[in-house]
């Protein structure tokens, strides 16, 4: 239920300004676009300045954690050691790793190697070796605010095929980012992502997407990277979501590990790569909050 705001009431965004001087024309614009048949964001998906400031602080930790991993990752290392680094640094900086105990997840970070698409669980038994490609996906909670991003790392010398996959997967994210603008649609971004992947002979995982983030780990909307320009949800200033396509060298099909019920693999066992950034839609474009 939502009580209709009067023009002189205080705006719902808690700016302290009158509705007519704040979000009234914004709301009317969204309502017109909804009436044309488009999906539009709910108010909960639009963050105010205080919330954005809190999310930004959380993201600072997330970036620092991945910078630290980048400096210390090396061949011969157990993925368990990455988990320990992420836990120690995040907590030293006053945050908590969001994955820990999330839905029963046992560790502080995801480490997905080669044909692991995502949700690889750090372990003493997984030792990074020369030629591996690994995604390290970190997420932080600070004062109730969430951040989420991931990067790929090449361990020592990797094959040219894998190197190209890693590079193109990153380019896909930044092609997507260029398509993020207020009053555009999430499908503009999704199309930019998969066009670039397909142009390079790759596929994009369909079943797992990105998400809104900030006040929760995973918020609406669910974000597809196989979507079409002009489709999916309207983007408006104050929305925060992730761009995190999983790009496969071979076919797009995946399966979930039956033993741990978490780790996702490519069905054809060919490598997969993923980079994740967390993006704020601004008045004139987009800003990366975490990478």
Cα 202 versus chain centre, distance: 20
Nearer to Co ion (CB atom), residue 99 or residue 184: 99
Smallest gap from Cβ 217 to Co ion, in A, equals: 8
Q: Return the one option of Co ion, ligand MF3, none that residue 151 interacts with (CB less than 5 to 8 A, by type).
A: none
3-state percent breakdown (helix, strand, coil) of the chain, nearest 5: 30, 25, 45
Collect all residues with Cβ–Cβ distance below 8 Å to 139 and sequence separation of at least 6: 62, 97, 98, 99, 146, 147, 148, 149, 217
Nearer to ligand MF3 (CB atom), residue 13 or residue 82: 82
Of 268, 269, 286, which Cα lies nearest the Cα of 277?
A: 286
Is residue 139 close enough to count as binding ligand MF3 by CB under 6 A?
Answer: yes
29: phi then psi, degrees, rounded to nearest 5: -65, -45
Q: Return the one option of ligand MF3, Co ion, none that residue 105 interacts with (CB less than 5 to 8 A, by type).
A: ligand MF3
Residue 209 in tokens: 């997407």
Smallest gap from Cβ 174 to Co ion, in A, equals: 17
Q: How far is CA 233 from CA 25, 61, 169, 237, 277, in A?
A: 19, 29, 23, 13, 19
Nearer to ligand MF3 (CB atom), residue 58 or residue 139: 139
CB 151, CB 111: distance < 8 Å: no
Nearer to Co ion (CB atom), residue 68 or residue 222: 222
Which of 116, 242, 263, 272 touches Co ion by CB under 5 A?
242
Residue 124 in tokens: 């003493």
Which of 81, 83, 115, 148 touches ligand MF3 by CB under 6 A?
148
Smallest gap from Cβ 171 to Co ion, in A, equals: 19
Which of 61, 69, 110, 133 touches ligand MF3 by CB under 6 A?
110
Q: Which of residues 232-271 bind ligand MF3 (CB under 6 A)?
A: 244
Residue 89-108 contact track with ligand MF3, rule CB under 6 A, x = bound? ----------x--xx-x---
Which range in 44-52, 87-95, 143-151, 156-164 contacts Co ion by CB under 5 A? 143-151
Distance (Å, whole) CA 260 – CA 120: 10
Which of 81, 83, 115, 148 touches Co ion by CB under 5 A?
148
Nearer to Co ion (CB atom), residue 209 or residue 238: 209
Distance (Å, whole) CA 266 – CA 206: 12
Which string of DSSP letters, residue by residue, matches 193-227?
HHHHHHHTT-EE-SS--EEE-SSSSSEEEEE-SS-
Nearer to ligand MF3 (CB atom), residue 110 or residue 128: 110
Residues in the chain: 291
Is residue 83 close enough to count as binding Co ion by CB under 5 A?
Answer: no
List of residues contacting Co ion (CB under 5 A)? 148, 242
List of residues contacting ligand MF3 (CB under 6 A)? 99, 102-103, 105, 110, 119, 137, 139, 148, 244, 276
């Amino acid at each position: 239920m939502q009580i209709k705001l009067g023009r002189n009431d205080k705006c719902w965004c808690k700016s302290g300004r009158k509705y007519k001087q704040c979000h009234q024309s914004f709301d009317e614009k969204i309502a017109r676009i909804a009436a044309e048949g488009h999906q539009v964001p709910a108010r909960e998906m639009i963050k105010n300045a205080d919330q954005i400031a809190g999310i930004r602080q959380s993201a600072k930790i997330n970036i620092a954690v991945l910078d630290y991993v980048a400096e210390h990752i090396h061949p011969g290392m157990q993925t368990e050691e990455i988990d320990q680094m992420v836990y120690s640094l995040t907590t030293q900086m006053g945050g908590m790793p969001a994955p820990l105990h999330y839905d029963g997840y046992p560790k502080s970070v995801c480490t997905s190697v080669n044909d692991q698409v995502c949700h690889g669980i750090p372990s003493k038994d997984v030792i990074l070796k020369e030629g591996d490609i690994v995604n390290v996906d970190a997420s932080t909670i600070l004062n109730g605010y969430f951040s989420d991003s991931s990067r790929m790392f090449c361990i020592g010398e990797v094959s040219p095929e894998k190197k190209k996959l890693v590079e193109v997967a990153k380019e896909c994210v930044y092609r997507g980012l260029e398509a993020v603008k207020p009053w555009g649609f999430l499908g503009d971004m999704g199309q930019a992502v998969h066009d670039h992947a397909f142009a390079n002979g790759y596929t994009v995982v369909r079943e797992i997407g990105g998400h809104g983030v900030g006040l929760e780990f995973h918020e609406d909307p669910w974000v597809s990277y196989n979507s079409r320009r002009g489709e999916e949800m309207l983007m408006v200033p104050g929305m925060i979501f992730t761009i995190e396509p999983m790009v496969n060298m071979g076919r797009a099909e995946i399966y979930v590990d039956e033993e741990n019920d978490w780790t996702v693999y490519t069905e054809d066992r060919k490598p997969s790569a993923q980079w994740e950034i967390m993006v704020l839609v601004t008045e004139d474009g987009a800003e990366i909050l975490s990478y």
